[in-house]
Amino acid sequence: MTTARKPNPSVAAMVEIMEAQKAAFIAQGPTSYQERIKELERIETAIGQRVDEIVEAMVQDFGSRSRHEILIAEIHTTLSMVHYTKKHLKKWMKPRKRSVGWLYMPGKAKVYMEPLGVVGVISPWNYPFYLAMVPTLSALAAGNRVMLKPSVFTPRTSQCLKDLLGALFPPDKVSVVFSGPGVGSAFSRLPFDHICFTGSTNVGKQVMAAAAENLTPVTLELGGKSPAIVGQDFDVQAAADRIAHGKFFNAGQTCIAPDYALVPKNKVNQFVEAFENAIRTSYPTLENNPDFTSIITTRHFDRLHHAIKDAEEKGAKVIRVNPANEEIDPAAKKIAPTIVLNGTDDMILLQDEIFGPILPVVPYNTLDEAIAYVNARPKPLALYYFSNKDRSVQKVLKMTQAGGTCINNTLLHVAQDDLPFGGVGFSGMGSYHGPEGFDAFSNKRGVFFQGSPCSTRMIRAPYSAGFEKALRFMIDKL
pLDDT band at 474 (very low <50, low <70, confident <90, very high): confident
- pLDDT band of residue 2 (cuts 50, 70, 90) is very low
Q: Assign domain 9-222+431-443 to a CATH class.
A: alpha beta
- So what's the pLDDT on residue 286? 94
- Structure confidence at residue 184 (pLDDT): 79
Give all strands of the β-sheet with 145-149 in edge-to-edge order: 174-176, 145-149, 118-122, 194-198, 218-221, 428-429
> Over 90: is that where the pLDDT of 183 sits?
no
For residue 179, the model assigns a pLDDT of: 66
Closest CA to 140 of 64, 32, 213: 32
pLDDT tens string 109-131: 999 999 999 999 999 999 999 99
Residue 436 is a catalytic residue: no
Reported as a single tens digit per residue, the pLDDT across 279-301 is 999 999 998 999 999 999 999 99
213 labelled catalytic = no
- The pLDDT of residue 433 is above 70: yes
Lowest mean pLDDT among 18-22, 278-282, 335-339, 461-465: 461-465
Tens digits of residue pLDDT in 83-98: 999 999 999 999 999 9
Q: Which residues contact 1 (CB under 8 A, 6 or more apart)?
A: none
> Class assignment of domain 227-422?
alpha beta
Query: Within 13 Å of residue 393, how many CA atoms lie on the same side as its CB?
Result: 13
Q: What predicted TM-score, i.e. pTM, was given to this entire model?
A: 0.93
Q: Is residue 146 helix, strand or coil? A: strand
Mean pLDDT of the chain: 94
Question: Residue 377 phi/psi, 5° resolution?
Answer: -120, 165
In this predicted model, what pLDDT tens digit does every residue of 233-262 receive, in sequence order?
A: 999 999 999 999 999 999 999 999 999 999
Our CA angle for 471, 472, 477, nearest 5°, is 100
More confident of the two residues 319 and 454: 319
Q: At what angle do helices 130-141 and 33-49 cross, to 10 degrees?
A: 160
- Considering the candidates 255, 312, 406, 454, report the single residue annotated as catalytic: 255
Contact in structure between 238 and 384 (CB atoms under 8 Å): no
Q: Which pLDDT score is estimated for 454?
A: 79
End-to-end CA distance of the chain: 72
Q: Where do the DSSP E strands lie in 286-389?
A: 317-320, 338-341, 358-364, 382-386
The predicted structure's pLDDT at residue 6 = 52
Residues carrying CATH 3.40.309.10, the chain: 227-422
What percentage of residues in the chain have a pLDDT greater than 70? 97
| 401 pLDDT more than 50 | yes
Report the pLDDT value the prediction gives residue 3, as an integer from 0 to 100.
46
Residue from 221, 313, 454, 468 carrying the catalytic annotation: 221
Confidence of residue 477 (pLDDT cuts 50, 70, 90): confident
